Structure 1
Amino acid sequence: MWQAAIEDAMKKTKRNGEKHGLQFPHIRRQAEGKCYEWGPSTDWIEGFYTGMMWLSYEYSGDTAFRDMAQAQVKDYRRRLDEDVALDHHDIGFLYSPSALAAWMIEGDETAKQLALDAADKLMMRWRPEGEYIQAWGPKGDEKNGGRIIIDCLMNIPLLYWASEQMGDQRYREVAVKHADKSRRYLVRGDDSSYHTFYFEPSTGIPIGGGTHQGYHDGSTWTRGQAWGIYGFALSYRYTGDKQYLETSRRLARYFVERFPEDDVVYWDFNVEVNADTLRDSSASAIAACGMLELLEHLAEDDEDRAYFQDAVERSMRSLVTNYSTMGEPDAEGLIDHGSYHIRGDLGPDDYMIWGDYYYMEALMRLEKGVPGYWYERKEAKTGVK
């Protein structure tokens, strides 16, 4: 099953690259039909598309994927140099699956420098007064100046990596402090999570939790919970701090315990479920990757190993069987019924490029043991493994 799904995903990824060149997929507001809106790199999501090119190259050895990925990486340099729409924390989402991947796979020194420069850009969002990375907007922003969001746990691995590469502990210290702040304030006592949390910007005094894309301020947005599962597992990989591993485990149990009948989650765990309630297939794909990362760190005799392995396989089988576009050869996306921002009527039920990426990453992990691009692999850089 996994191999057939990967082959289908690569065909669609290659066709999109050949058809759209250096245009990138963007999420549309609700419209007729299912497709991406293609345009220049101006959002937080483009890195996932480039990451799909690199995954396809690693799996197939087809140099067409490498050539498309390399051309895109050059565009990320342009974007960083021109500071195009980078006033946010999602630098890791942009530059890890693109530039860092190019360094890991090809040993591309230019790409390595680009990833390091991107880490410097992310460091500019560190707010020492409150000891957190500000999610959105400039320093002093009236609405967002004291705001963190759970998604950032997937951006700070770029800082851990930069610290290792440069031997500079500042990057690691920022990542750890932000992870600690997230663990304390974004994770609730019942192992659910806030999407966002606010602090008084000048002092760092906590104000309270909230949401941006969830059902309500006290609800648990499923994609946010998935970011937490994966992000804390990655912080454990980099630091060895068992608190992060246990937090990832707790978030994962909460997620799995709330699987619906077909093992692919709705867009929020607290939304009223009826025939019209929308799913978020992308949340399930992210959570599958997060649990696969978590499994790498659990002892062989850990009682949770079988539990999480079964959950991943159930969820991924459902994504392939019930949500993938394998029976739609002309589809641009890999999995349907993802959601972006339902209350904002932005991509409420469509393809999500991050959903496509994490779906492919999970398949690659399951089929070949090849992870994504959130930490540097230790083997020599000699091209395709």
Structure 2
Amino acid sequence: MYNKLFSYFIILSGLFACTERPETDDDQALKAVIDSAFIFAEKQSLLMAEKYKDQQGRLPRTYENGKDVSSDSRWWCSGFFPGSLWYIYENSQNPAVLKYAELYTDRVEREKYTTDNHDVGFMIYCSFGNGYRLTNNKKYEDVMLTAAKSLSTRYRPQVGLIRSWDHNTEQWQYPVIIDNIMNLELLLWAATYSGDARFKEIALSHADKTMEHHFRPDYSSYHVVSYDTISGTPHLKQTHQGFSDESSWSRGQAWGLYGYTYLYKETKDERYLKQAQHIADYLINHPNMPDDYIPYWDYNSSDIPDTYRDVSAAAITASALIELSNYVDKDRASLYEHVAKVQVKTMASPAYTATLGENGYFILKHSVGAYPLQSEVDVPLTYADYYYLEALTRLREKI
């Protein structure tokens, strides 16, 4: 029986036999979807920005049971709303959006000194990193370099990885979660900016050991791997937010795909490209992947299909696939773009996009934070919006 990948190639070969046009009707339709999505995102996000502007130091987190849930900069998601504003500004050049992007980015600055968890990469690179990319603000350089130094303090050479968490020490000696792969981008930037090769050495050591120990033979990944602090080898592999220790927690799979995609982009190491391709193929061909490519919160949940989808996993996956399509052969690139386009169109539809003024002013609905903990289940989340806007931006550049 043909899998999804082979079937798609058969369809694709027929398409290439036709005369190609500079711009297809599908391209025009997709552009209209993207344009409409950004117009809505700007209106909705400006409402969000205005709501919190006088709440000193506060940032949106979610909207649950009809109530706003916010955080200060300490919450691991604090950089995502500022980052969303930067993507909206990039696509609209609206001065009002720029003003708020700068305001909310500044609210995260103190996290450049964070040394008690690995999320400083999320916090700082998504906010200050995008701000620097778009404005070349020299102050942002200093913030990011300081943050990279802070993140580096969590690296232990005898283990070869950046420690994720400091809690639950009775069970975990040196826990590393798959999410941590996302924070290496800050270190790679710092290596280039500062000329200090140690940042890159740390990032690549972490990437290599994660590739060795986090992934199963089918290229699904564990959520948490705890390492023995003496031998530097795993003593425990499990999940914290997934269905079971051996299941494929959907957002974790998306983190891995995204991480190895940008690792290849930055290093041009073919091992990382192959890893990203293997992960992508595993996800696209998973028997429990829905036809619209919006995954369930865990690919192995016992309640499929009667369980929650996780739009945050879809948004991360879509953004990664669009980027990955730049580095692979023509057939594979067409497949990855096809999947991402289906995801984007689905997320932009009323099934997942809120109406103006509702959903706590978040853009997307139906994300899942940590189902086993009954935390943030079927709610909007800032990182879903962020990676959705990034996916829209990347897709706009390709059509």
Q: Is residue 347 of structure 2 the alignment partner of residue 319 of structure 1?
A: yes
Match of 1:200 in 2: 228
CA separation of 1:129/1:343 partners in 2, compared to 1, >3 Å: closer, same or farther?
Answer: same
Deviations 1:90-137 (A, max 9, x none): 111101121122221111111110000000010011011111110111
Q: Is residue 59 of structure 2 the alignment partner of residue 24 of structure 1?
A: yes
1:266 partner SS: coil
Q: Is residue 93 of structure 2 the alignment partner of residue 61 of structure 1?
A: yes
CA separation of 1:274/1:97 partners in 2, compared to 1, >3 Å: closer, same or farther?
Answer: closer
CA separation of 1:256/1:275 partners in 2, compared to 1, >3 Å: closer, same or farther?
Answer: closer
Q: Is residue 294 of structure 2 the alignment partner of residue 264 of structure 1?
A: yes
Match of 1:119 in 2: 148
Q: Distance in 2 between matches of 1:164 and 1:80?
A: 18
Moved over 4 A (4+): none
Distance apart, 1:306 and its partner CA: 1.5
- Give the conservation status (yes or no) of the 8 Å contact 2:161–2:205: yes
Match of 2:395 in 1: 366
Alignment counterpart, residue 96 of structure 1, candidates 112, 115, 125: 125
1:37 partner SS: strand
Q: Distance in 2 between matches of 1:16 and 1:366?
A: 25
Distance apart, 1:212 and its partner CA: 0.8
How many residues get paired?
361
Match of 1:383 in 2: none
Query: Which amino acid counterpart does residue 47 of structure 2 have in structure 1?
Result: R
Q: Is residue 158 of structure 2 the alignment partner of residue 132 of structure 1?
A: no
- Tell which structure's C-alpha radius of gyration is larger: 2
Q: Is residue 320 of structure 2 the alignment partner of residue 285 of structure 1?
A: no
Alignment counterpart, residue 6 of structure 1, candidates 22, 38, 42: 38
Distance apart, 1:206 and its partner CA: 1.9
Instruction: Tell me the TM-score normalised to structure 2 length.
Output: 0.86
Alignment counterpart, residue 373 of structure 2, candidates 344, 351, 355: 344
Alignment counterpart, residue 244 of structure 2, candidates 201, 209, 216: 216
Deviations 1:201-234 (A, max 9, x none): 1221222321110000000100000001110011
Unaligned runs of 5+ in 1: 371-385
- Give the conservation status (yes or no) of the 8 Å contact 2:354–2:362: no
Match of 1:330 in 2: 358
Query: Which amino acid counterpart does residue 15 of structure 1 have in structure 2?
Result: L
Deviations 1:166-202 (A, max 9, x none): 1111000000000001111111101211111121012
Q: Distance in 2 between matches of 1:197 and 1:13?
A: 37
Deviations 1:324-379 (A, max 9, x none): 33434433211111000011010011001100111111111112459xxxxxxxxx
Q: Distance in 1 between matches of 2:379 and 2:172?
A: 28
Match of 1:177 in 2: 205
Matches within 5 A, 1:140-179: 141-179=169-207
Query: Which amino acid counterpart does residue 162 of structure 2 have in structure 1?
Result: I
Query: Which amino acid counterpart does residue 295 of structure 1 have in structure 2?
Result: S
Distance apart, 1:292 and its partner CA: 1.0
- Give the conservation status (yes or no) of the 8 Å contact 1:135–1:144: no
- Give the conservation status (yes or no) of the 8 Å contact 1:6–1:364: no
Query: Which amino acid counterpart does residue 307 of structure 2 have in structure 1?
Result: T
CA separation of 1:323/1:93 partners in 2, compared to 1, >3 Å: closer, same or farther?
Answer: farther
Distance apart, 1:275 and its partner CA: 5.5
Match of 1:225 in 2: 253
Percent identity between the two aligned chains:
31
Match of 2:336 in 1: 308
- Give the conservation status (yes or no) of the 8 Å contact 1:25–1:353: yes
Query: Which amino acid counterpart does residue 124 of structure 2 have in structure 1?
Result: Y
- Give the conservation status (yes or no) of the 8 Å contact 2:214–2:225: yes
Q: Distance in 1 between matches of 2:201 and 2:131?
A: 26
Match of 1:254 in 2: 282
Matches within 5 A, 1:44-83: 44-81=76-113, 83=114
Deviations 1:255-296 (A, max 9, x none): 111321332110001112446301101001100011111112
- Give the conservation status (yes or no) of the 8 Å contact 2:296–2:304: no
Q: Distance in 2 between matches of 1:275 and 1:238?
A: 38
- Give the conservation status (yes or no) of the 8 Å contact 2:111–2:147: no
Q: Which has the higher contact order (CA 8 A, sep 6+)?
A: 1
After superposition, the CA RMSD in angstroms is: 1.9
1:6 partner SS: helix
Q: Distance in 1 between matches of 2:351 and 2:197?
A: 43
Match of 1:38 in 2: 70
Instruction: Tell me the TM-score normalised to structure 1 length.
Output: 0.89
- Give the conservation status (yes or no) of the 8 Å contact 1:27–1:346: no
